[in-house]
Amino acid sequence: DHVDIDFLGRSNIGFASAPGSNANSAAEYVIAGLLDIGQRYALDLEGRSIGIIGVGNVGSRVAKKCAAMGMAVYLNDPPLQRQTGDAKYLPLEKVFDCDFITFHTPLTFEGRDKTYHLADEKFFKSLKQRCVFINASRGGVVDSSALKSAIRSGRLRAVLLDVWENEPNIDIELLKIVDLGTPHIAGYSLDGKIAGMIMIYRAACEYFAVKPKFDLRDFLPEPAVPELKVNPNITNDQDVLLSSVQKIYRIDKDDTRLRRILDKPVENRGEHFDNLRKNYSIRREFQNTRVILEDTNSALAKKLIGIGFKEVKSAK
C-alpha cells in the first residue's frame, strides 16, 4: 500500500516483497476467531454458511479451512471471476445471506474493483440479520461509522476486527463494541515472518547473482507445543478444535492486550497500538504440532488436518 513501484523502476532501484508469506498465519487467525465466537454464542459452525470476500493468498486458505470444518463456503472475487470465468466466484449480493462474512481484499481507491469502504451502510443493511462480520484485510475496506451503526442496531450478532481505519489511532468507540479486537497481527506468526524474510533474502540473492545459503529451517526454532493429545472425554468436534487451537494460539489474549488501550491517555493510545505490533510475542502455526487422537480415520481427524495441524497419530 505504501511503495511507489513505478518510481523505483524508473530509478533502477531493485524492490522485492513477500506476498503470501503470512497468508497461512492470517487464515489460522480467522479460524481461531470463528471457534472463539462459536463458543461465545453457542453456534455450531458445521453447516453454517460463510461468505469470503477476496479469495487471494489468505482468502483461499480461509476457504479450505472453513470447508474442512464443515462450513458451506461462498466466494466473491470479481477480478478472479473475470480472469478465470469460474462460476464459483459469485457476485457480492450472492453472499449477503451468509451466516458469516469475512474480508480478505486489498485496499484500492479507484477502478471497477475499488474496495475502499466496500462495507458501507448499504452493505451492512443488505446482510442477513444476526450475521457475524470479520475483517482481517485492511481497515479502510470498512466504513467504521456504518459498522458501528450496524452493531448498535442489532443487525450483527458478532464482530471480529484485526484491522482499523486510521491505525494506529483507532476508533476507541468501535473497539468497545466489537466482540474481538486485535492490533493488526493476524499475519504475525513467527513462521510467516521468517517465510517473508526468506522470500526477500532469495530475491536479494537473485538480484545480486548470489547463491542463497539459508532456508526456512535455519531460523525456525522447535515449537513450544510439538504434540498435543486430544481429551477423549470431549465428545463435540468443535470443542476439540477450539481446545486444540487454543493450545497454540489464544486470540482472546490478543483482544485483552488491545483493550488496555482504553486505560491509556488519548495521546498515548497510538503508541500502545504500535507497541503491541512491534513487541508481539512468538506465535507458531498449527502446522508445527502433531495431534494424538484415538481414531485417526474419524471426521474429527480430517477436520484437524484440514485446519492445518501437522498430522494426527493414534493414541492406541
Report the alpha-carbon angle 10-13-15, nearest 5. Answer: 110
User: Are both 80 and 161 inside the same structural domain?
Assistant: yes
184, 272, 283, 284: the active-site residue: 184
User: Are both 29 and 164 inside the same structural domain?
Assistant: yes
Select from 138, 149, 145, 135 the least CA-distant residue to 116.
138
- Domain range enclosing 232: 227-314
Amino acid at 272: H
Number of domains in the chain: 2
User: Are both 32 and 171 inside the same structural domain?
Assistant: yes
What integer pLDDT is reported at residue 64 of this predicted model?
A: 98
46, 121, 167, 271: the active-site residue: 167
Q: Which tens digit of pLDDT belongs to each residue from 73-123?
A: 999 999 999 999 999 999 999 999 999 999 999 999 999 999 999 999 999
138, 157, 269, 283: the active-site residue: 138
Residue 104 annotated among the catalytic residues of the structure: no
Residue 184 annotated among the catalytic residues of the structure: yes
Is residue 7 a part of any domain in this protein? Answer: no
CATH code of the domain covering residue 278: 3.30.1370.170
Residue 167 annotated among the catalytic residues of the structure: yes
Is residue 190 a part of any domain in this protein? Answer: no
pLDDT in tens, the chain (316 residues): 578 988 988 998 889 999 899 999 999 999 999 999 999 999 999 999 999 999 999 999 999 999 999 999 999 999 999 999 999 999 999 999 999 999 999 999 999 999 999 999 999 999 999 999 999 999 999 999 999 999 999 999 999 999 999 999 999 999 999 999 999 999 999 999 999 999 999 999 999 999 999 999 999 999 999 999 988 788 899 999 999 999 999 999 999 999 999 999 999 999 999 999 999 999 999 999 999 998 888 999 999 999 999 988 887 6
